[in-house]
A and B are shown apart, each in its own frame.
Chain A
Amino acid sequence: MKNRLPGLHLKAEDFIPATAEEKESLVIMRDSVNFWRDGLRRLKKNRVAMVSLFFILLIMVFAYVLPSFWPYTYDQQIRTSENLSPFTYGEAELERIAAGEKVFPHICGTDKLGRDFAVRLMMGARISLTVGLVCAAIVLVIGALFGAIAGFAGGWVDNIMMRFTDIIYTIPDILLIIIMAMSLKPALEQLVLHKGFLWLQKLGPNMIAIFLVFALIYWVGMARITRSQVLILKESEYVTAARALGAGSARIIRKHLLTNCIGTLTVTTTLQIPSAIFTESYLSFLGIGVQVPMPSLGSLATDAVKGMNTYPYLLLYPAILISVIILVFNLFGDGLRDAFDPKLKD
């Protein structure tokens, strides 16, 4: 068998079609990924964003959880322990330690009324964060909806809606906050007497006024940004394609326009959080922020300014905390944008 014909190498079984199972084994399926899972995967790879997220969570625990376990409360005044430096004790406390009692140290010292500054910082961070988050959420909902509708409708509807935002934009915000705080005060005091509204008292009329003013004024910037995005996106071919398929306006706004604005919306919203915290701080400085004795980071800082030379740490702690909160929210916002924008995907 020296010269075997090539044809003799062939076997009949080589020509049997592959079974479905054999075919299946050759198909390499990638894991099904949806928009959010894909974005989260990319977010996890972004070290800066993850560190920022860690700090945001840390600050949240610090602001919302820790005060409940702290041995002091934010409005508790300890006699003889006024103006203490960190990790020192007042006379009464030293006596108790001498008597063998355990006294929790004042990690950040105390203020001039003898209140533990650490717990006041926590409560201040809580107020500032709450203002930031709630206001950003209000601004996002109102601004995005208003802007999307104006941009999508176009023509005279757009014209009227945008002139309306121009009018809103001209209202001086501090004036409005003062007026609203004044006018809301009697109404709120009445409301608090009813059952179930006690929590309003805790926030104080000024706080509610801040929320309302944010709801009324600060959505304008968001509305303009959303509108400009929608104006670009609604001319895109995929929106035309959706209309050719018979999609209604609501579907196009929901499925195509808002989802494609999400990068801009997240960044603008996260930038809204520090700006709301700033607003709250300067209102506290003017004395129309939160109700005493409730602290906010802004009011803590302004209180400390008076004794800056003697007790600089009282200014330093809230100032650092405000800076860190604003920095991590900005960095995290950038990370979110990178993660949820497939065009920037590596």
Chain B
Amino acid sequence: MNGQDILVEVQHLQQYFPAGGHGKNKRFVKAVDDVSFAIKKGETLGLVGESGCGKTTVGRTMLRLYEPTDGRIIYDGKIIFDSGKCPLKNDDGSDMTDGNGKPVLGKKTAVDMLPYRRRMQIVFQDPYASLDPRMTIGDIVGEAIDIHRSAGSKKERRDRIISLLECVGLNSEHANRYPHEFSGGQRQRVGIARALAADPQFIVCDEPVSALDVSIQAQVVNMFEDLQQEMGLTYLFIAHDLSVVKHISNRIGVMYLGKMVELADSFELIAHSVHPYTKSLISAIPVADPNTARAAKRITLQGDVPSPLNPPSGCRFRTRCPYADEICAGECPQMKEVSAGHWAACHHLDKVDY
């Protein structure tokens, strides 16, 4: 990864939510723990994982809608958040050290987000909850324009709102209506228009199609792709449906219980996944050909996802992994590059084979 064309990068991102208790007994939900990745300009990074694995938290923490408990967020070469507790990185991705081998820590920073709010936007999962029922579609879309005062006159504001609505396949007539008058797919389009109104470069798509009908899903996904081509947008596309993610993403990251377990090009990940968790996920994608489907063996994982309040020691997947042994319990696996651009975190990459 060279630093030149990277738009957003997170390093050692950590997000613990307090979950009761006081003093020493204070407990935390370890929603995201030590996640690092970078997204290049114009790229789509897919993020998959089962419910509650921290995908959404990663997306929201990147925008600092939640203040990270640790880690560093870099946007367009500028550090917008740094907890001051994690080591800086060299260009090759290794931790920077001083002469004595001690890691060099970053300077504690938390910039004012207002100028970045225009460039980083988010589209939400639930189109029914994410639109204010008291505001007209025009006002919802125009909110970014109002906040950033980016329109000189009322007419300019209105023209921009209408052009944004047209951009997502709605028309000017819809501007005076309320959200409850729309269907799920139309509402999601409004949500996208709202994000576009800020004129962003980077959009976190937080399961934007999960709440929609399959037929509408295709429309909305295609619209995301068209918008990306027209405006040169960069996406972090969060979903739990691998078949949607593989369609839209250039690269895919797989998360399990707050950790990134595998990260690779989307074709590479689907075809040559190396992590046992990814393999079981991929085997669960339905195939429309009965012959292939019968031939393929479905890998069923045993047990449930452990609680993020008290995750297992070492590798978090070890409680459900068929290859787990003492090393997995004792040591947390680091991300290793198995082939060019293909990273995985597992102690037994050599053994894994289905």
Contact = CB atoms under 8 A, between A and B. Distances in A.
**Do these two chains interact?**
yes
A325 B65 CA distance: 48
Contact of B129 (A27, A236, A262): A236
A342 B178 contact: yes
A238 B132 contact: yes
B143 A247 contact: yes
Contacts of A112: none
B22 interface: no
A12 interface: no
A102 B126 CA distance: 75
Nearest to A258: B134
A214 B144 CA distance: 40
B198 A245 contact: yes
Contacts of B239: none
A244 B173 contact: no
Contacts of A256: 132, 134
Interface in B44-70: 60, 63, 65
Interface residues of A, number: 29
B196 to A, nearest CB: 11
A256 B180 CA distance: 16
A9 interface: no
Interface in A320-346: 342-343, 345
Contact of A30 (B65, B120, B173, B194): B173
Contact of B121 (A35, A236, A244, A262): A244
B176 interface: yes
A273 B173 CA distance: 41
A243 interface: yes
B113 interface: yes
Contacts of A236: 129
B280 interface: no
Contacts of A259: 132, 134-135
Nearest to A262: B134
Contact of A241 (B118, B120, B133, B194): B194
B205 interface: no
Contacts of B229: none
B180 A238 contact: no
A255 interface: yes
Contacts of B198: 245-246
A245 B144 contact: yes
Interface string B133-165: 111100000011001100000000000000000
B180 A245 contact: no
Contacts of B120: 244
Contact of A246 (B118, B124, B136): B118
A236 B129 CA distance: 7
B134 A260 contact: yes
Contacts of B60: 240
Interface in A24-40: 27-30, 32-35, 38
B254 interface: no
Contacts of B132: 238, 242, 255-256, 259-260
B130 interface: yes
B129 A238 contact: yes
B15 to A, nearest CB: 15
Contact of B147 (A33, A246, A260, A342): A246
Nearest to B174: A30
A29 to B, nearest CB: 5
A251 interface: yes
Contacts of A242: 132, 143
Interface of B: 60, 63, 65, 113-114, 117-118, 120-122, 124-126, 129-136, 143-144, 147-148, 171, 173, 176-178, 180, 191, 194, 198
23 contacts: A29-B173, A30-B176, A33-B176, A34-B176, A237-B125, A238-B130, A238-B131, A240-B65, A240-B124, A241-B122, A241-B130, A241-B191, A241-B194, A244-B117, A244-B121, A245-B117, A246-B117, A246-B144, A246-B147, A246-B148, A246-B198, A247-B143, A260-B132
